[in-house]
Chain A
Amino acid sequence: MTRAQTGHAVEVRDVWKSFDLVATRQRHLKQSLVDLLAGRREPRPRHAVLRGVDLSVARGETLGVVGRNGSGKSTLLRLLAGIYSPDRGSIETRGRVATLLELGAGFHMDLTGRENVEIEGIVLGLSRAEIHRRAAAVVEFADLGEYIDQPVRTYSTGMYMRLAFSVAVHVDPQILLVDEILSVGDAGFVARCHDRIREFQRQGASVVLVTHDTGAAEAWSDRVLWLDDGRVQSMGDPGEVVDTYLKAVEGG
């Protein structure tokens, strides 16, 4: 790393996370009350998804994250965003966090792109005055033409993504967490996202980028983390980590 490191934007120490198995979750209040009254308390099996993860992301650094399906990448991003809380360990983030998880979720289908921009900006932590000041820039970057005043229901997946990305990058996050979604856009837009992320980095913002696309991980990241079965398998030079990861995947 040649970039000046003036402290960490993200620090994760020995984080563990497990979930109740979806299949054994109690979904009925009536049944729960009956169990409670009968004094029945079965310990439910938990599924350990992250097992002692350590990592840090410097200011201005982009960390790529690769790993097989189910290895815990999305869970890790949600922990970083504070959406999940860890069972053990500590997570520190400094500065405003914006996420690009679950593309376009939260947009209201019956409202226009412009109306959704206002809502999304506030959800991501801006005040009403701030989002009104920035709305024009968001709309311009998304480049949806007349569609910006059409209900989001009429958008293609690519258009969604453009709008979602555009809001997320205009809230001036110090930390941007991206899950998979940059593979959806057309080449031109992806290039602009790339530029925008570079600009972020110059301004000292950090990016954590989960992607299936190992080429993108190599091209965009300062370091790459390979997450395997909830553990950090390796972390470091993008080329090296991606090579070992690919060999492992191809080897079965």
Chain B
Amino acid sequence: MAFRDLLWVLTLRDLRARYRGHGLGYFWSILNPLLLLVVYTVVFSTILRVGIDDFVLFLACGLLPWTWFSTALSVATGSVRQGAGFVRRIYFPAQVLPLVAVLSQLVHFLVSLPLVLLLAAVLGRVPGAPLMALVPIVLIQTVFTSGLALFVSSLGVRFRDLEHILSNVLLVLFFLAPIIYAPEMVPTGLRWVLRVNPLAVLIGGYQDVLYRRAWPDWMSLGLALTVSVLVFGAGALLFERERRGFAELL
């Protein structure tokens, strides 16, 4: 299928271009989350003392999926604009552009996972069978992120200030998921936020598997999947509606 070939070859293009010329390719792709991991760990376990055991592992479980999510959306916002060289030159299924952003960030996420496993091993928290649950969790996150990516990328064609707005929204979203705090710390009256936010559910899932060494809560994941599919459908519809006008706006 042509669309799949396109998705594949453009993702590969993205990854090749990124790693080309840097012998340090792998290192670069994990440098940013690594840096955040170190800084946050220092701040939250030695200065603010949040009192989460093995905080560095807990944090890694949330921070790496978050980095995938937020970077993918930032890149997706400008992806159609970046892809003007295709969109203005040939009849082109522009949907691939934001999806490529999600997939190539997914690859970065996947190559950083061994780091988390290593960390878990060092801390004596080797995950067992629940590790398999990462597959559905990653898939749900892919669907959710892709839906939002389609949404922001189609708005990003017209609106130049979207990138700026998005970075502010992401700043807020970061605190609406249990990345630097544990769900138990949240007042009971506010916990529903974590239950309805698919990203919070997904991050909880990574923590269940990789930090708590338990199976995730399938009910919550089912709900996250439902929301993700709806978001994807809405994003795809909006994109399809706007797509015909993209070439002339670029």
Residues of A whose CB lies within 8 Å of any CB of B are: 19-20, 25-30, 32, 78, 81-85, 97-99, 101-102, 105-108, 110-111, 115, 118-119, 122-125, 127-128, 151
Which chain B positions have C-beta within 8 A of A123? 6, 86, 90, 92
The verdict on B57 contacting chain A, using a C-beta distance below 8 Å, is no
Q: Are A119 and B10 in contact (CB under 8 A)?
A: yes
CB distance from B42 to the nearest CB of A (A): 36
Q: How far is the CA of A20 from the CA of B13 in the complex (A)?
A: 34
Query: A28 to nearest B CB, angstroms?
Result: 5
Whole-angstrom distance between the alpha carbons of A97 and B162 in the complex? Answer: 34
Report the count of interface residues on B (CB-CB < 8 A): 32
Partner of A26, one of B87, B158, B245: B158
Q: Is the CB of B165 within 8 A of A30?
A: yes
A-B pair number, CB within 8 angstroms: 88
For B1-17 the 0/1 string (1 means CB < 8 A from A) is 01001101110010011
Q: Give which listed residue, B10, B244, B247, contacts A78 with CB less than 8 A.
A: B247
A-B contact pairs, 15 of them (CB 8 A): A28-B159, A78-B247, A81-B91, A82-B91, A83-B247, A84-B247, A97-B90, A99-B90, A101-B88, A102-B88, A106-B85, A111-B20, A122-B9, A128-B8, A128-B9
In Å, the complex CA distance between A28 and B163 comes to 11
- Cα(A81)–Cα(B88), bound, Å: 10
Q: Which of A83, A110, A124 contacts B87 (CB 8 A)?
A: A83
A27 near B85: Cβ-Cβ < 8 Å:
no
Residues of A within 8 A of B155 (CB): 29
Q: Inside 8 A of B245's CB, which chain A residues have their CB?
A: 85
- Are the CB atoms of A106 and B89 closer together than 8 Å? yes
- Chain B at the A interface: SS class: helix
B83: min CB distance to chain A, Å: 8
> Which B residues contact A (CB, under 8 angstroms)?
2, 5-6, 8-10, 13, 16-17, 20-21, 84-92, 155, 158-162, 165, 244-245, 247-249
* List of B residues within 8 angstroms of A85 by Cβ: 244-245
Least CB distance, A132 to chain B, in whole angstroms: 11
Cβ-defined contact, B92 with A111, below 8 A: no
Roughly how many angstroms separate A147 CA and B17 CA in the complex, as a whole number? 18
Indicate if the CB atoms of A84 and B248 lie closer than 8 Å: yes
A185 to B15, alpha carbons, bound, how many Å? 32
> Is the beta-carbon distance between B17 and A27 smaller than 8 angstroms?
no
Min C-beta distance of A32 to chain B, whole Å: 7
- What are the residues of chain A within 8 A of B88 when measuring CB–CB? 78, 83, 101-102, 105
B90 A122 Cβ-Cβ under 8 A? no
A208 to B13, CA, bound (A): 31
A118 to B9, CA, bound (A): 8
Closest 8 CB pairs of A and B: A106-B85, A105-B85, A82-B91, A29-B159, A83-B247, A110-B17, A28-B161, A27-B160
Q: Within the assembled complex, what's the spacing in Å between the Cα atoms of A114 and B9?
A: 13
List residues of chain A with CB within 8 A of the CB of B13.
108, 111, 115, 119
